[in-house]
Amino acid sequence: MELNLEQLCHQVRDLSIETGEFLAAHLNKISSEDIEKKGRHDLVTFVDKTSEKKLVEGLSKMLPEAGFLAEENSVTTRGKHYNWIVDPLDGTTNYVHGVPLFSISIALMKENSVILGVVYEVNLKECFYAWQGSQAFCNDKPIAVTQQSSLDNSLLATGFPYTDFSRMDQYMDLLKYLMQNTQGVRRLGSAAVDLIYVACGRFDIFYEYGLKPWDVAAGAFIVQQAGGKVSDFKGSNDYVFGKEIIASNALLYNNFIEILANYIH
């Protein structure tokens, strides 16, 4: 049976907004006893876990045959054709410190391709979404990447790795170059938000390494549906599982990937 992706996307949008209300209700109520470490500098709270449970329950009802790849591993079942990729709270470190920028990210993969993406930034109550064949939207309004063609006039976003520091010297050299040759580089703390901000034209380019599928799957798809280009650092399509990503408008992409190649090998 063929999925009605538009209808399904709207259902996922509504679920993410509902779950976002739970996240907002517990902001600034997290104590040190509520925080666990999954790894060095990798935090998780009962809020992440409860959010994931709510999302998994809701998504399972929408598409019972689908499996899951979820950050907190509350469910590990894989589907034959369909799998949800879920980040119940992207920006946990921001959240536990009371910094009001974090998101919910949900993507649906069919075989090896993302066919639906939803990212909900809770604090501004902005829900970004798209499905296969659609435009990209924010709160029902179409969005698009910028038409900026000059790196010198561009605003970029990146993230800093918190476990894999193997490329740190190269990364910092690239950052120095970009600081001197762009209008600035921002670090928000949620890759999903960085990506949707490229999709809606707030950033011209986003790049980062050390990422997980649930950080990027939905946002990268939305960037593409908004007219942008997405790849790994080598220009290939291994960005969902390849732990590195470039998202850019089409006019800046080729120039940026050439610059990046000069610094990161």
Q: How far apart are CA 258 and CA 127, in angstroms?
A: 33
**Is the per-residue pLDDT at 10 higher than 80?**
yes
Q: How far apart are CA 121 and CA 191, in angstroms?
A: 11
The fold of the 151-263 domain, in CATH, is D-Maltodextrin-Binding Protein; domain 2 (3.40.190)
Q: How many CB atoms lie within 10 A of CB 144?
A: 15
Exposure class string for 189-206: b at 16+ Cβ within 10 A, else e: bbbbbbbbbbbbbebbbb
Nearest to 126 by CA among 93, 102, 157: 102
DSSP type of residue 58: H
Place of tokens 């109550």: 125
Residue 34's pLDDT band, with cuts at 50, 70 and 90, is low
Q: How far apart are CA 36 and CA 176, in angstroms?
A: 34
Enumerate the domain spans of the chain. Answer: 5-143, 151-263
**pLDDT tens digits for 183-242?**
999 999 999 999 999 999 999 999 999 999 999 999 999 999 999 999 999 999 999 999
CATH number of 5-143: 3.30.540.10
**pLDDT tens digits for 96-126?**
888 999 999 999 999 999 999 999 999 999 9
pTM of this structure: 0.93
Q: How far apart are CA 74 and CA 58, in angstroms?
A: 14
**Is the per-residue pLDDT at 50 higher than 90?**
no
Measure CA of the first residue to CA of the last residue in the chain; give whole Å: 45
What SS3 class is residue 98?
coil
Say which amino acid occupies 228.
Answer: G
